[in-house]
Structure 1
């Protein structure tokens, strides 16, 4: 549905992304992990149409594209749910659901909001995603973080999203609310959407992910299917296992630092090579 081939982005002399390969398929969750400054935000901006790539290719349904505005991405079925969720805390749930795309009835100049229809539609769509709210008139700011994320996901699905980009949806949530969001990510996948799950938590990613990519300093450090990598290997890549392995001898000299659980540098190279070879076989 969406594919990046050797994509990159430069801001003047600063190279934020380079040589990134990423494929998003229908009914699959593609997880992109990376620490702060790894290039996740730049990747989101390219796919969502906010910024244009400066190298490589960006394809939607196999056709090269170059979005100039987020509206063009939305028209192609690519929706992004950002961390701030683009909601108005003091407005009711149903009003936030249709924010910017309100249903109306009547003729101009007597046209007015079709409140009953919006409430009914919002309730039906939320229930179809498995979200049951007792009162759609309550301000959305009174909902838990997980519930607000779920409403934002259901809203994107209703307005025609085929590819859903989720920007760190569990970053500021507790364990229980993170579980709620992961449940609805799986529900979106089961409805046939292609999901891009941006996160820095390998445990959350491994619960729902079908394919994993790890960004490091603007390049794709790992690109592997779920069957090709374990949670431990994914965690090591995410945590900078190669750097820690290289420093293992020095760290062993520091009191209070347990290095027994750190991988050997050679093991990481073997794992990365195996993942790369498996990916090459799939492409060929």
Structure 2
């Protein structure tokens, strides 16, 4: 029995939002993934951890459709999928919020939320933006996250780091994402803003959204994640519930579990 199978967490939801089995990816002579596995259960927060070079970024690129695996299988809702690009992943309900958030800082909040999917109507055959509708819908999305932001017309560059994360999440919700990948969402944030982002993640889980969290901050992981996958040298060495773990014990697992096989 593998470590992944042996550590299946009791008490978690049984339906799988996402499953990766035996994923491999090579860049020239570098084996970035050498048979990585990942099981993410619907409506939970699942963290992916590992040292630099463990394969986290490559695994996320495969799941988000940025790159195709050389081998292995990815399944969404129990069905095998093959993503040609990020739009295909988004169509399957998977949105990725990268560390830089991908926001246009000088554009208004509502413009960022509806970027690429603007609401329009036709007047005398000419498409016209439905500005009021987008402002109203943006306010609804932010209200779902219990955000205190009330003015949807202010530029994003006037917001705090935590508030910008909220805008990026709302854009994913606008695309009807059922699974949101968050890459280092609290990097470079202060204590207060980090708390805001962790509250956003908890709020997503409350609403049934599945979150895949990539983080080097073990305190953040044990604070919000239901389960964790640990990668080492391109392989999954452990997948288990976070129950009973603190930041120090999780760091120990990352450093030592599977080290002899690397």
Would the TM-score normalized by the shorter structure come out above 0.5?
A: yes
**Cα drift, residue 46 of structure 1:** 0.2
Structure 1 stretches lacking a partner, 5+ long: 243-267, 273-284
Q: Does 1:42 find its partner at 2:58?
A: yes
Structure 2 stretches lacking a partner, 5+ long: 1-16
Q: Which gives a bigger RCO, structure 1 or 2 (Cα 8 Å, sep 6+)? A: 2
Q: Deviations over 1:178-237 (max 9, x none)?
A: 110010111111111111000011110000011111222222232211236444321212
Q: TM-score, normalised by structure 1?
A: 0.81
2:134 equivalent in structure 1: 118
**Cα drift, residue 25 of structure 1:** 1.3
2:178 equivalent in structure 1: 162
CA distance in structure 1 between the partners assigned to 2:22 and 2:205 by the alignment: 26
CA distance in structure 2 between the partners assigned to 1:200 and 1:186 by the alignment: 18
Q: 2:196 aligns with which of 180, 191, 210?
A: 180
CA distance in structure 2 between the partners assigned to 1:34 and 1:174 by the alignment: 23
The 8 Å contact of residues 33 and 201 in structure 1, kept in 2 or not, is answered as no
Q: 1:127 aligns with which of 136, 143, 162?
A: 143
The 8 Å contact of residues 90 and 175 in structure 2, kept in 1 or not, is answered as no
Alignment of 1:227-266 (within 5 A): 227=243, 229-238=245-254, 240=255, 242=256
Instruction: Please identify, of 122-131 and 101-110, the stretch whose mean Cα deviation from structure 2 is larger.
Output: 101-110
**Cα drift, residue 173 of structure 1:** 0.7
The 8 Å contact of residues 222 and 245 in structure 2, kept in 1 or not, is answered as no
**Cα drift, residue 21 of structure 1:** 1.3
CA distance in structure 2 between the partners assigned to 1:121 and 1:4 by the alignment: 34
CA distance in structure 2 between the partners assigned to 1:231 and 1:25 by the alignment: 22
2:218 equivalent in structure 1: 202
CA-based RMSD of the aligned residues comes to 1.7
2:155 equivalent in structure 1: 139
1:67 equivalent in structure 2: 83
Q: Does 1:105 find its partner at 2:131?
A: no
Larger Rg: 1
SS in 1 for 2:200: helix
Q: Does 1:23 find its partner at 2:47?
A: no
Q: Does 1:215 find its partner at 2:231?
A: yes
The 8 Å contact of residues 226 and 241 in structure 2, kept in 1 or not, is answered as yes
Greater helix share, structure number:
1
**Cα drift, residue 12 of structure 1:** 2.9
CA distance in structure 2 between the partners assigned to 1:34 and 1:149 by the alignment: 23
Greater strand share, structure number:
2
